[in-house]
A and B are shown apart, each in its own frame.
Chain A
Amino acid sequence: MENRKHDDNPLVIDFWEGELTGHRMHFKNAPDGSRRLISKLNDVHFVSKICRNLILDEALASVLAELLGGDPLAIETLTFEKESEQEDHFDPYYMPAPSAEEMVVSSIFLEKVGTRPRLPQKLLDPSLSVFRWQYLRLGQTQRSTLGQRVHSQGAFRSRHPGRNYNR
């Protein structure tokens, strides 16, 4: 793919600012100039080898594999160029892990974070069967990428083939 507006561009973007607040659209249809808006670009690793190298960096992957207890089976990436503006939410609802303990989120800060971000917090409520994550609050010019990995001893395939991980 050589052009953002090419029909084959598979990326999807969400906006949380201005007239586009709450809109999800194909990246190829995002208006020129919309980069200045608060947005979330989804799954850049589908098209970017550099992104894949970043989120699968050997040093990072080995730590995550240890926390997961094995290799990941599925990965999604979210790239923020400003703060996420997302309310607290339960990611496993959207990318369900086969069991509650088998999801790890890595937050890669691409630029120096001036203010202390709100990092994901594990909600220590035994009545919940999933982890709850509070999203990052970044400064206006700070960028980060989240790579979410799901692991299970059993078979797990994401409905989106680009998210399934094959070593």
Chain B
Amino acid sequence: MKNEAQFEGTRSLAHSTRSIPQIERITKNAIGASATTRLAQRRLEIPNTSFRLPEFCMALLDRLFNRSTNLSSNQRKFWDEHGYLVLKGVLKPKEIRAYLDELDSLWKTGNTMTTP
């Protein structure tokens, strides 16, 4: 397996405008096609029957560069297809309450705002 420095060229692929076949080709050239399949099974525990190279390439790039992924693959897929996501419970009720109180305060003459 080639060292990580040789993957530098693939770093920006995850958010590039290249097509999936182009990303596949570039990634395979960088890491080698045979290594791709082995890594898919070993590191990502994807069975042969469900292995799909484009998805694997994107996941592999995430793993190689420790890029944090806050979204599940299903969420990402939904985002790509529909252009929006519903995330429940992300913000704390306390934060929300504080802002609602702030709005009440904003409307009152003589309020004190939280300008730093």
Residues of A in contact, count (CB < 8 Å): 40
Q: Are B83 and A60 in contact (CB under 8 A)?
A: no
Q: Are B68 and A44 in contact (CB under 8 A)?
A: no
Residues of B within 8 A of A57 (CB): 90-91, 95
Check B113 for interface membership: any CB of A closer than 8 A. yes
What is the distance, in angstroms, from B43's C-beta to the closest C-beta of chain A? 21
Check B103 for interface membership: any CB of A closer than 8 A. yes
What is the distance, in angstroms, from A111's C-beta to the closest C-beta of chain B? 8
Interface class of chain B by DSSP? loop
Q: Are A60 and B99 in contact (CB under 8 A)?
A: no
Chain A residues engaging chain B, CB cutoff 8 angstroms: 1-5, 11, 27, 32, 35, 41, 44, 47-51, 53-54, 57, 59-60, 62-63, 66-67, 69-70, 79, 81, 101, 108, 110-111, 119-122, 131, 143, 145
A-B contact pairs, 25 of them (CB 8 A): A1-B113, A1-B115, A2-B111, A2-B113, A32-B109, A44-B102, A48-B113, A50-B99, A54-B91, A54-B96, A57-B91, A59-B91, A60-B90, A60-B91, A62-B68, A63-B90, A66-B70, A67-B79, A69-B15, A70-B15, A79-B103, A110-B96, A119-B84, A122-B84, A131-B83
Chain B residues engaging chain A, CB cutoff 8 angstroms: 14-15, 17, 68-71, 79, 82-84, 86-87, 90-91, 95-96, 98-100, 102-103, 106-116
